[in-house]
């Protein structure tokens, strides 16, 4: 089950990042008095009353430009509509209601999602009267808090949990493979989805951003059931659509968390861009299987070695994801699209692969014999044994004499040995180190 997403929204400088940091218990967002200091999409998991939630710290609405204001506020509402189960709408109790607050309230009111109204900067009990003005927003009962003084945060979280759906049983069948189709706008995601489904279920257009919401479509191939999630594109950063790009990252995150295998669609004529690498990083961090689709291959001038050169460049550009297989396709001509489902099936098998403890420890013993573990100040790392504790992705606990002696490069070596022995193409591998005293 994925954690419900709760977005913190509001105009600049009302204390969103301060609240976010307090609720997740660590200083993740940069906090500054200058409006708009939150430049990147920040999200983190936290827990309250036994419920795990994913909090999202959004950038503030820039009120300098009226034109930009409307664009950005619509995007703010999209966060609530598309990705979150509840929204914390934060306002400044000392400043009172502003026109920007009214606009945000108007957009959230039609979002059809629970909205919890937090009135921030109520630092002392005698300031409580300041909250009554905010009933005029028509968005619900205001809750007084002081993010910087940690005042009223429990009441705020109680209200959030109250508005979240109760724990639901997993309704989706275990044998359904969920595929997320991700990428920047206009790389051909919707065209690929249409080809896979064999019908025009998703509007295709050359205008970036045509696909506004994530669309789930169930389908079946040779008796295997799938759900395909077609997402809105992730946009390039620029001064004009920095906000737009930020919100699309959240949409991607929500889709990634729900999927088993992610298809990262890249425009072959452009190669891997900073945005492509960023999406790949999200997929990797969430531990999902991945296939890199180099689309528009029909538009690339080729010789006999072109594909190998592209693959080498891919390994370099996405060095942290060298386990992901690549496929060179053309949604326009249909070239190699028939291989996507076949590769999804293979990657899913590897994501859910289980290795018996005996076979696993034979592999570890062989790896240690071939290359000794590292030493530090005369002490050598000892790996006593390992066991697999989870799938999606395959996760292994290694019991060692001292986890501090494990060097990153040796973990990478072990990962490579596991891949050599068991394949595991397309899936990340996770290691957890546990100290065990020798007798």
Looking at residue 353, its pLDDT comes to: 96
Mean pLDDT over residues 37-62, rounded?
68
pLDDT score of 78: 59
pLDDT the model gives residue 76: 52
Residue corresponding to tokens 């014999």: 369
Neighbours of 276 (CB within 10 A): 24
349's tokens: 């098998």
Residue with the bigger pLDDT between 324 and 166: it is 324
- Give the Cα separation of 135 and 260 in Å (integer): 43
Instruction: Give 106 or 357, the one with higher predicted confidence.
Output: 357
CB burial class (10 A; 0-12, 13-18, 19+) of residue 225?
Answer: middle
Q: What's the mean pLDDT in 105-130? A: 88
CA 382 from centre of chain: 35
pLDDT band at 220 (very low <50, low <70, confident <90, very high): confident
| CA 108 to the chain's CA centroid | 23
| Helices 274-285 and 242-258: angle between axes, nearest 10 degrees | 30
**For position 100, what pLDDT does the model report?**
84
- Asked whether the beta carbons of 88 and 116 are under 8 A apart, the reply is yes
**pLDDT of 274:** 87
- Give pLDDT, residue 250: 66
Verify cis geometry, omega within 30 degrees of 0, for the bond prior to 143: no
- Band of the pLDDT at 34, cuts 50, 70, 90? very low
* Whether the Cβ atoms of residue 251 and residue 231 lie closer than 8 Å to each other: yes
Tell me, rounded to whole angstroms, the distance of Cα 198 from its chain centroid.
28
More confident residue, 44 or 279: 279
pLDDT at 42: 61
pLDDT of residue 121: 94
- Token pair listed for 392: 């999606």
The CA–CA distances, whole Å, from 368 to 178, 411, 417 equal 37, 11, 10
Cβ pair 412, 316 in contact under 8 A: no
Specify the pLDDT at position 349. Answer: 96
* 3-state secondary structure (DSSP) of residue 240: coil
The tokens describing 21, both together, are: 């940091």
Domains of the chain: 5-163 (3.40.50.300), 177-351 (3.40.50.300), 357-435 (3.30.300.20)
Q: Please state, rounded to an integer, the average pLDDT across all residues of the chain.
A: 82
**66-104 residue pLDDT tens:** 555 545 545 555 555 567 888 999 999 999 999 888 888
Q: What is the pLDDT of residues 231-247, one digit of tens each?
A: 654 444 443 345 445 55
Burial class (CB in 10 A: 0-12, 13-18, 19+), 412: exposed
d(CA 190, CA 337): 13
What pLDDT does residue 79 have? 55
Per the CB < 8 A criterion, the answer to whether 97 and 136 are in contact is: yes
pTM, two decimal places: 0.71
| Maximum average pLDDT range among 10-24, 33-47, 239-253, 335-349 | 335-349
Determine the pLDDT at residue 262.
97
Distance, in Å, from the CA atom of 424 to the CA atom of 116, rounded to the nearest integer, reads 44
Q: How far apart are CA 253 and CA 282, in angstroms?
A: 7
């Amino acid at each position: 089950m994925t954690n419900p997403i709760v977005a913190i929204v509001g105009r600049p400088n009302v204390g969103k990042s301060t609240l976010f940091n307090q609720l997740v218990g660590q200083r993740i967002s940069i906090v500054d008095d200058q409006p708009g200091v939150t430049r990147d999409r920040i999200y983190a998991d936290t827990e309250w009353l036994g419920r795990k939630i994913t909090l999202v710290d959004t950038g503030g609405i820039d009120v300098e430009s009226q034109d930009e204001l409307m664009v950005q506020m619509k995007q703010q509402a999209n966060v609530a509509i598309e990705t979150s189960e509840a929204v914390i709408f934060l306002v400044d109790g000392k400043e009172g209601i502003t026109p920007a607050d009214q606009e945000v309230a108007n957009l959230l009111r039609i979002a059809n999602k629970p909205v919890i109204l937090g009135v921030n900067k109520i630092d002392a009990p005698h300031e409580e009267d300041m909250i009554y003005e905010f009933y005029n927003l028509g968005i619900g009962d205001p809750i007084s808090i002081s993010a910087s003084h940690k005042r009223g945060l429990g009441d705020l979280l109680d209200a959030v949990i109250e508005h979240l759906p109760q724990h639901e049983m997993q309704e989706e069948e275990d044998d359904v493979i969920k595929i997320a189709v991700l990428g920047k706008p206009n790389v051909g995601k919707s065209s690929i989805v249409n080809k896979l489904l064999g019908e025009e279920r998703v509007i295709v257009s050359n205008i970036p951003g045509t696909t506004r919401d994530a669309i789930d479509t169930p389908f079946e191939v040779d008796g295997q059931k799938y759900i395909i999630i077609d997402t809105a594109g992730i946009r390039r950063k620029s001064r004009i659509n920095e906000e737009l790009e930020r919100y699309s990252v959240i949409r991607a995150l929500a889709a990634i968390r729900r999927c088993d295998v992610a298809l990262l669609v890249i425009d072959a004529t452009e190669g891997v861009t900073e945005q492509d690498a960023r999406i790949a990083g999200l997929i990797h961090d969430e531990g999902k299987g991945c296939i890199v689709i180099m689309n528009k291959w029909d538009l690339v001038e080729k010789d006999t070695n072109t594909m190998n050169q592209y693959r080498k460049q891919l390994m370099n550009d996405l060095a942290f994801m060298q386990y992901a297989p690549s496929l060179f396709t053309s949604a326009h001509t249909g070239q190699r699209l028939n291989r996507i489902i076949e590769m999804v099936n293979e990657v899913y098998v590897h994501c859910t692969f289980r290795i018996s403890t005996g076979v696993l420890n034979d592999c570890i013993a062989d790896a240690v014999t071939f290359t000794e573990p590292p030493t530090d100040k005369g002490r050598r790392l000892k790996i006593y044994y390992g066991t697999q504790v989870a799938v999606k992705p395959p996760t292994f606990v290694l019991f060692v004499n001292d986890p501090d002696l494990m060097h990153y490069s040796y973990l990478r070596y072990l990962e490579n040995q596991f891949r050599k022995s068991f394949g595991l193409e397309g899936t990340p591998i996770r290691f957890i180190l546990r100290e065990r005293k020798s007798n």
